[in-house]
Chain A
Amino acid sequence: MKSRTIRRISFVFGLLVVTTFVIAPFCWLLFCSLKPRTQLFTGLAIPSSLTPANYVALFRHTEVVRFLCNSTEVAVVVTGVTVFTAVLGAYSLVFFRYSGRELIGRLILLTYMFPGVVIIVPSYNVMSFLHLTNSLVGVMLVELVLTIPFSVWMLRGFFTEIPRELEEAAIIDGCSKMQALRHVLLPLALPGIIAVAVFAFIFSWNEYLFPLVLINDEAVKTLPLGVAGFMGHLYVEWGPLLAAAVVSTIPILILFIFLQRFLIKGIMAGAVKG
């Protein structure tokens, strides 16, 4: 009885500490972004009122809407293409038997930890050869190269959990391989597909290095690049910057609220299974 109470207390205490550790910085960001301009630098003092003035300034005086559109465009296209490619690739790796399959699987796993920095110069060269620097298409192409291997690997984990007999039964019943994929496997792998989509979206929404290298032009900057630009000025306008940070977080937050259980499944499929 006594040890149970101790457990309970330590648990509640732990939960409290961990939650504060994780969430407090976000809350502070949100809170400060709503402070009036003149009271931004007053530390812990309670502001006289909360106002959306920083957001108004952000949307009125900066290109943030354009950055948002650019980021959305990139993230949506990258997610779509990634999911499509990953479904085909994972299906091939799990439900077909050809030589070299294991090797391909291993290669894919390796690329998963491939650092962007190592390939920035070659990617930059390829994109400038194709006249795709300062273009969202260039950014999309490079990001696809990074999201696809990871997504194939993750989806492969989901596919291996589907009993082979289901696919075989469909084929005996007269389905072609592609019909079996569409009618039998896809519905079963849906959680995995959603997880992959969420990952691809988050990854391309957040990506900083490749846009940094490929894009100079203000008109095609993605959100992280744009926000980093606000930070880089000699004189930092903290009010709009904090608001911009909140705005950059919101789409991720929304995805999270609705889809986090898929995301966690995905992490487990990727991490626990290796």
Chain B
Amino acid sequence: MSIAASPSPSIPRRLRKIAGLEENTVGYLLIMPTLGVLALLIFLPLLSVVWDSLHNKTFLSTSYKFIGLDNYRALFASPGIWAIVIRSLIWTLFSVVLQVNVGLVMALFLNQVFLGRAFFRGLFLLPWVIPVVVVAVIWKWILNDLYGVASDVLTYVFPPWAHLAWFSDPMLALPTLIAINVWRGSPFTMVILLAGLQTVPRDQLEAARIDGANNIQQFRHVTIPHLRKILLIVMLVFALFNFDNFDLIYLTTQGGPLDRTMTLPVKTYEVAFKGLQVGESSALAVIMLFFLAILSIIYLHLVRITSDTRT
């Protein structure tokens, strides 16, 4: 942001003035495809979703009429909606906190220059870049309550847990999914935090050590303040990722058992494409947007702060 904003000194002003108009036209032309996509991605669907949420639209019939806020009223009157909202927040919060903390611990262990570091960094990104359906297959296979290898291992390590139904026990399903999500996300946060750790100035750590700070104090008073911004950004971005997550939940439990892993994205999908209730689903989408807007505003604010301080 900062570099682009500074005026270039090296072209004579007169020349720039003549070229300016033409240049701007080219600039607009070049950004047009992107803007077109943005319009398609944000404005059109947003308007459409808000509009749909105010009508009793379904996939079953082509006629519908304006019903004001009835979809929202119906939603909030329906049992379980608050449970879904709260569950979405719990899912997001636990996922983020664990992904970032596990990632940070891993990054601290690996914060050294060593042979093959690039190789390992790449390796650690694998859980994040493979198709989610593969993640689902892997864990449904490993954690299968009848023949999963987890049962075999647990028989030796911790027998009381050997025959737990990880995905179909209503109490366990959500923690299981969060754990899988942490497995998937924390290597990614680790790679980012590792890059952050390597920007911590060594002389400051050295100075702290000379002043008598032990490892933990160095970490608390030098490393963490340096990492604060990057930690905040990673947390927010992952909060958004997790809040939006549909694939992992849908591919493993479809929101079950007994809705115990039903979050807003899965519900939005189900209401639209299983229940065929377009209006109600759109109302759910608007509620999701409300939460996302809050997170996004914080994120944009943070990005502005960090990019300002870098110049």
A: which residues have CB within 8 A of B?
7, 10-11, 13-15, 17-19, 21-23, 25-26, 28-29, 32, 40-41, 43-44, 85-86, 88-89, 91-98, 101-102, 104-111, 113-123, 125-126, 144-146, 148-149, 152, 160-161, 164-165, 168, 171-172, 177-178, 202, 205-206, 208-209, 213, 223-224, 227-228, 231, 238, 241-242, 244-245, 248-249, 252-253, 256-257, 260-261, 263-264, 267-268, 271-274
Q: B192 at interface (Cβ–Cβ under 8 A)? A: yes
Q: B300 at interface (Cβ–Cβ under 8 A)? A: yes
Contact-residue bracket for chain B: 35 or more
* B28 near A98: Cβ-Cβ < 8 Å: yes
- The interface residues of chain B lying within 8 Å CB-to-CB of A122 are 44-45, 48-49, 52
Q: Can you sample 26 A-B contacts with CB below 8 Å?
A: A11-B112, A22-B183, A28-B141, A28-B149, A85-B34, A85-B37, A89-B34, A93-B31, A97-B7, A109-B300, A110-B296, A113-B296, A115-B244, A115-B288, A117-B288, A118-B49, A118-B268, A119-B45, A152-B34, A171-B19, A178-B26, A227-B134, A228-B136, A256-B126, A264-B191, A267-B125
- The interface residues of chain B lying within 8 Å CB-to-CB of A96 are 23-24, 26-27, 30
Q: Which residue of B lies closest to A42 (CB)?
A: B147
Q: Which residue of B lies closest to A163 (CB)?
A: B3
Please classify the interface of chain A as helix (H, G, I), strand (E, B), loop, or mixed, using the class held by over half of its residues.
helix
Least CB distance from A225 to B in Å reads 8
B: which residues have CB within 8 A of A?
1, 3-5, 7-8, 10-11, 19-20, 23-24, 26-31, 33-35, 37-38, 40-42, 44-45, 48-49, 52, 106, 109-110, 112, 114, 118, 120-127, 129-134, 136-142, 146-149, 151-153, 183, 187-188, 190-192, 195-196, 230, 233-234, 237, 240-241, 243-244, 246-247, 250-251, 264-265, 268-269, 272-273, 278, 281-282, 285, 288-289, 292, 295-296, 299-300, 302-303, 306-307
* B278 near A168: Cβ-Cβ < 8 Å: no
- The interface residues of chain B lying within 8 Å CB-to-CB of A98 are 24, 27-28
- The interface residues of chain A lying within 8 Å CB-to-CB of B49 are 118-119, 121-122
- The interface residues of chain A lying within 8 Å CB-to-CB of B20 are 97
* A92 near B37: Cβ-Cβ < 8 Å: no
Q: Which 3 A-B pairs have the closest CB atoms?
A: A14-B109, A96-B27, A115-B244
Total A-B residue contacts, Cβ distance less than 8 Å:
300
What's the Cα separation between A242 and B196 when bound, in Å? 37
- The interface residues of chain A lying within 8 Å CB-to-CB of B129 are 202, 206, 252, 256, 263
Please classify the interface of chain B as helix (H, G, I), strand (E, B), loop, or mixed, using the class held by over half of its residues.
helix
* B134 near A149: Cβ-Cβ < 8 Å: no
Report which residue of B29, B34, B153 has the largest number of chain A beta carbons within 10 angstroms of its beta carbon. B34
Least CB distance from A164 to B in Å reads 5
Given contacts A18-B106, A249-B130, 13 further A-B pairs with CB under 8 A are A14-B106, A18-B124, A25-B183, A41-B147, A110-B296, A111-B42, A119-B41, A121-B49, A122-B52, A206-B132, A227-B133, A249-B134, A261-B122
- The interface residues of chain B lying within 8 Å CB-to-CB of A206 are 129-132
In the complex with contacts A10-B109, A15-B110, A92-B31, A168-B11 CB distance below 8 A: yes
What's the Cα separation between A19 and B38 when bound, in Å? 39
